Structure 1
Amino acid sequence: MSVTKIKMSILLSSFLVLLVGCSSNAEESTPPVEATVDEEEPNEDNKEEITDVYDSDTKFTVFPDTLEGVVSAPTGEFAGEAFANNKEYITEILNQYPTATGGWGSSEADEMFKQIVMLFAEDYQNPFEGNWQEITIEYPDIYGGKSQLKPKLNVEIILDASGSMVEKVDGESKMSLAKEAIREFTSNFPEKANVALRVYGHKGTTAFDDKEASCESSELVYDLQSYDEAALNNALGEFTPSGWTPMAKALKDSMQDLEGLSSEVNTNLIFLVSDGIETCGGDPVKVAEELKQSDIQPLVNVIGFNVDEEGEQQLKDIAESADGVFAYVENQQDLAEQFDRAEEIAQQWLDWMLSEHDRFDKIFKERQKKIDEYYQIWEEKKIREEDNLFKAIEYLAAQGKIDTDVQDYLESEVRSRILDVNSGEVDWEYKYSSKNNDERVNADLESFDTYFENAN
């Protein structure tokens, strides 16, 4: 026996002897007192009622029917990990659950299921919430900011075929030089851009008797379409310079040629080639203003071909009224240079179309990659949540908290819950899919794709 134990035995013996002595004296001097036993008061701090186990404060939708409902639901305490990783803590909570009675679909079973889901509900996130940006077409400026390139390019040439175009420059008629410049220009035009040719003043003569008929001569000899060499050459061979100069009428008619081609999605260019002033009483300056205010909003290029001072001033006024540009040319080379500007714009348009489409395609692929990544994340979370819920139900059954009927019911509810979560996944996958991104991007993109597809 150790020393400590011996000392304790001695002290205990002494205490007993003293106690006996005191008891004898007490019996002689005091009357007997009835012994009482105080009932132990419960500790309120440690008191746990089973009814307090359930979380009745948190608002939680077990079966969300929208993507927003899935992603906005509170995340469970044990989300993100397998049941086994937190089994001790989970079972401690489950052990306090009341027994669910009432069978299939009972209120007790429904409440128990809700509480279980609230423990394991995963953190489902919207992959693009807050950082999805609409794609907008980046329209390049042309002509020093006077206009912008748009998904569709349309060019209409309005050629003066009045009698004065028969005059010669460098040994050839102005008309011959103009036709040659047009042939060269259109032959290098992008295949899917559109071009049209309208001529005016090509009927009658410069005689006063022919004025009325000649002033009505404005004809679209090559309809707005992609370049067709044979058809354009045939059109250029159909007229010769002969009559008066109904410039205002030709400009007015060009609005009809381009009708419906809104500047929202079309780059509309007009090249007006003339060697003189309006001679039919029209007001081409006023018509130019109407062009500017119209839906087509064309960029009007006015080319004065070896024009006199009076004619030059009127052509400048036309360009200014249309917010366009004016150029004076003396010969074929000068005229070709003006059409070269249009050719450069056409090439710029084609390069821009291709680069924008490539940019969109890159963005769509990046988004689809992100969608695929989030799809995998959602799949992992769904599988983990489903597995955790089943394990919790199995544990409750093993502990006698639920019978077979309730267990079957709860397991069927798990499957319904996962189906609803899956519906949310399908929702965002569809909403953000590159195949359906027109729901998320603006009308410009839809128009761009539509026209680009038509152009190819």
Structure 2
Amino acid sequence: MKSQLKASITLLLFLLALSGCSGDVKSKGSSAKTQEPPADSQAANSEIQNKEEEFEVAPLPSNYQELAKRPVGEYADKVITFMTKEEYKTDLPSFDSLPDMSGDRSDQELDGDYELLLSKFQKGFKGPEEAVRQLRFQAIGSPEFKDTRYQFKDNLNVEIILDSSGSMAQKVNGVSKMDAAKKTIHEFVKKLPKGAKVGLRVYGNKGSNADSDKEVSCSSSDILYPISTYREEDFQTALGKAQPTGWTPTALALKQANKDMSAFDSSDNTNIVYLVSDGISTCDDDPVKAAKDLYHSNISPIINIIGFDIDSKGQNQLKQMAEAAKGIYKNVSDENELSSELEKLSDLAEKWADWKKRGESSLKVQKLDNTIKIFSYTQNEGLMASQERMNVFLYLNYLQEKKKISDESYQYLKEKNKKYHDWIDNEVKQLQSYLQSLNEKNYGDAMNALEEKFQQNQP
């Protein structure tokens, strides 16, 4: 409760600081320079013009879809708080690539400075495409689906692909990521309904993460539990063999998963693949292509990916893999969040078991409800926008305190940051409003409306 109160006070102070200074800020069209070159100095004007033409600024997103495609920043998870002058003595990241802003800067140069600073704190926004993917997974088995990939079949097969690279030995809340993953996977598998089949594959499970073992480790991926019904003793034995070991050959694991499930043709099998990893592929392969190839294979799997306590580079790659496979990417920070994510798969398996027991006619056309968790992520989008806004704002304060930015440049960038994140807030509100307007529609109608509005071209 105290932490929530502190966060609320911090956000309130931040908003008051923004509103209190807005009257002193120059408009976007004004220059942050203290002097303009003399009107009769054509050479000076030409020199400045050439300089600005050479200075290319990457554009900020113009719509929500573009925002969602921006790479997650290196310091996306860092939380900067209001600091006293004494606390400013503790240096924040220096960002060596950020130019000196203590002197004169043109608007164009400052736009580039802002883009660079923003990229460091860039959050992983999901956008409207995530609504479609989550809605599709939520509605698997519903009779209005025409795509057979998302229809229930006589058999349900789930393969879990577990990262066994050396980094999985790192601890979160006192427990290694590998032990936390194994415990969570075992709890999930134990709850699978009778008749469902499960498989367990690991990768990076041989050699070590030393350079001398890269070749052998990057060639390692084994099926520890071939796809079959759950047998507790056998599965526990297989799971016990998974240990944090070597490098991370993600593409190899996906290719081998295709072979694991090759006998389970999509005509009478609903096939689901979950990949759990804590980092980027380190084996000079192409996991994005591998994910796409697996998606388009004859087993027609549903592919979801979980990033476990992962850095920004890993998040960006795993997110690209999920997008290539038309699946969901979820970032989890600890065992509890991993368990919550696998619980969604447990719910789906129970839904399949009920369908098997009662027959296809038992599946009613489901309608949306405002309480469905699928829409709660819009609140998370708004929270990420607030955190990103505050991080940039407070870092600008830090630069000002360290006298690394002029007053004029500080005012310009502060106003730019405010306008940009006001735009994001508006995009999130519009999406939330549109999702609410779909309330009481059935899943099929809602998904069609979303895809049409946001120009989705799902297969």
Q: TM-score, normalised by structure 1?
A: 0.47
| TM-score when normalising by structure 2 | 0.47
